Chains A and B, each alone.
Chain A
Amino acid sequence: MANMLNKPELLRDDGKRLDGRDLDELRPLSIKANVLKNAAGSAYTEWGNNKVLAAVYGPKEVVPRHFLDPERAVIKCRYAMAPFSSLSDHGRSGPNRRAIEISKVTKEVFDNVVMLEEFPETAIEISIEILQSDGGTRAAGITTAAVALANAGIPMKDLVYSVSAGKIKDKIILDLDMLEDNYSDADMPVAVSPRTGNILLLQMDGELTRQELNLGLDTILEAGKQISKIQRQALIDVYE
């Protein structure tokens, strides 16, 4: 937990953020699809200093069998941070409390877009590995996993993206890095289905007024066009 008493100044005098970005500017984002030979689908993302690898397997047999659903497929999602991914400790074996929570919310995002009823009694496995973290890894993980799912040929109703918005001194900012994540007044990761505009994930840490929430969502939807474009290009590049 960040010590709020020693809160650093997060905005420069010229109104820009510490890394020189505007308030509504994304970090540099690049996605590459089909990077793993043995997975059905995969993608690798570099988003600022975040480095994320996602792989998709299946549809396959459900193990253990009590997870089986006779009407639809089940999504098994595993979000994990590599031991060397950040300054804090991620070295112990097995998922920690945070990883279990992020795996759960990621699974619920894809439950809404993957056509699970096509594959009853099967499982689709999504593995998200954070190789290097710098804030906003759950958003980067969801964005990468969506590309990996499309690369695997799993039928989906939409290609979702995710990005976070936050607040520093009554100003709404987009795509928070680690420092902003720890010391900002609010942090709100959101996952969106761009075709319908449906919000599939909305978590919030901190406080936002109703107006600030709406402004944050508008900023995310605007930035989403750029993210969707990069996701599309990553998928098309596989065939060129």
Chain B
Amino acid sequence: MPFVVLHLRHKIIKYKGLIFRVCYYKITTCKDFMNTILIPGDLIETDVARNRNYYFTDGNNSYCTSMCILNNGRLVPLEGLWYPNEGETVVGVVKEVKNSIVEVDLSHFLRAIIIKSPRDRIAFRIGDIIEASVKQVEDKKTIILIFPRLLKSGQLLQVKAVKVPRIIGKNNTMVGQISSFTKSNIIIGYNGLIYIKGGDMALAVSAILKVAAEAHKPGLTESVKKFLERELEVTEK
């Protein structure tokens, strides 16, 4: 359904040595404002809520830098990389254990480390799967992790990091639904690594991959619910 969108614009006008700033509205029609796909270099309208990592500004205008979708006036990335933020949960694999630090592989271009403290009770070994929180990112080069926790005897699944918010869902609805149907314990890292343990792990993996593949489609919670119900029915028969 076509939408009419009002964009607030301003112009600087010089007249007789005086500088005026004139504000006006530009009216455009958008064929489908809900699901417009943007590609790198596309102009972003002024009234769109933007994710700071997926646009750049040139003059008065903002342009998209990755494949994004306009969803209810929000700029949601379809493709892109994970930009770590403080407090985000990550899942990773211990890559190297040194005297003072532990290096963790987060399947990401940044180096991730845990700084050891004498009070730590965890004995890290290479290959251990861990869950941790991002403390800070130093100079866009190193992620410092805190609160590590060992995860044992489960499965590790990797998806694109931009799909993670959809897998988690609003107020954890999507992951909660998958957990309750499959009876699995699911820990989702914002870096795209997902740890699954117990219950019907194969079904949980299928459901998560389905969410990742259809993350841009509306009504996903309902369709995943139907998918899980159908699959469980087949298993019971």
Does any Cβ of A come within 8 Å of B119's Cβ?
A: no
Whether B41 and A159, one on each chain, are in contact in the complex, defined by CB atoms closer than 8 angstroms, is yes
Interfacial chain A residues near B80, Cβ < 8 Å: 153, 155
Whether B79 and A153, one on each chain, are in contact in the complex, defined by CB atoms closer than 8 angstroms, is yes
Contact with B along A1-45 (1 / 0, CB 8 A): 000000000000000000000000000000000000000010000
Interface extent on A, as a size class? 20 to 34
Residues of B124-175 at the interface with A, using a CB-CB cut-off of 8 Å, are: 139-141, 160, 162
Could you tell me the distance between the alpha carbons of A228 and B58 in the complex, rounded to whole angstroms?
21
User: Which of B9-17, B19-27, B60-68, B182-190 forms part of the interface with chain A?
Assistant: B60-68
Contact with B along A154-176 (1 / 0, CB 8 A): 11111100000000000000000
Could you tell me the distance between the alpha carbons of A188 and B36 in the complex, rounded to whole angstroms?
36
Least CB separation from A123: chain B residue: B109
B63, B80, B109, B140: most-surrounded residue (chain A CB, <10 A) = B109
* Contact of B41 (CB < 8 Å), options: A121, A151, A158: A158
Least CB separation from B142: chain A residue: A121
Does any Cβ of A come within 8 Å of B3's Cβ?
A: no
Does any Cβ of A come within 8 Å of B77's Cβ?
A: yes
Whether B79 and A41, one on each chain, are in contact in the complex, defined by CB atoms closer than 8 angstroms, is yes
Does any Cβ of B come within 8 Å of A120's Cβ?
A: yes
Q: A41-B79, A119-B109, A120-B140 are in contact. Are A155 and B39 (CB under 8 A)?
A: no
Interfacial chain B residues near A60, Cβ < 8 Å: 109
Interfacial chain A residues near B79, Cβ < 8 Å: 41, 150-153
Interfacial chain B residues near A61, Cβ < 8 Å: 109
Residues of A106-158 at the interface with B, using a CB-CB cut-off of 8 Å, are: 113, 115, 118-122, 150-158
Interfacial chain A residues near B140, Cβ < 8 Å: 118-120
Whether A195 and B81, one on each chain, are in contact in the complex, defined by CB atoms closer than 8 angstroms, is no
Whether A153 and B67, one on each chain, are in contact in the complex, defined by CB atoms closer than 8 angstroms, is yes
User: Which of A88-96, A210-218, A231-239 forms part of the interface with chain B?
Assistant: A231-239
Interfacial chain A residues near B40, Cβ < 8 Å: 113, 150, 155-159
Least CB separation from B37: chain A residue: A236
Does any Cβ of A come within 8 Å of B181's Cβ?
A: no
Contact with A along B52-95 (1 / 0, CB 8 A): 01101010000101110000000001111100000000000000
Could you tell me the distance between the alpha carbons of A215 and B168 in the complex, rounded to whole angstroms?
54
Does any Cβ of A come within 8 Å of B216's Cβ?
A: yes
Given contacts A120-B139, A120-B141, A195-B63, list 10 more A-B pairs with CB under 8 A: A58-B109, A150-B66, A153-B81, A155-B56, A157-B56, A158-B63, A159-B41, A195-B41, A235-B67, A239-B216
Chain A interface residues (CB < 8 Å from chain B) = 41, 58-61, 113, 115, 118-122, 150-159, 193-195, 231-232, 235-236, 239
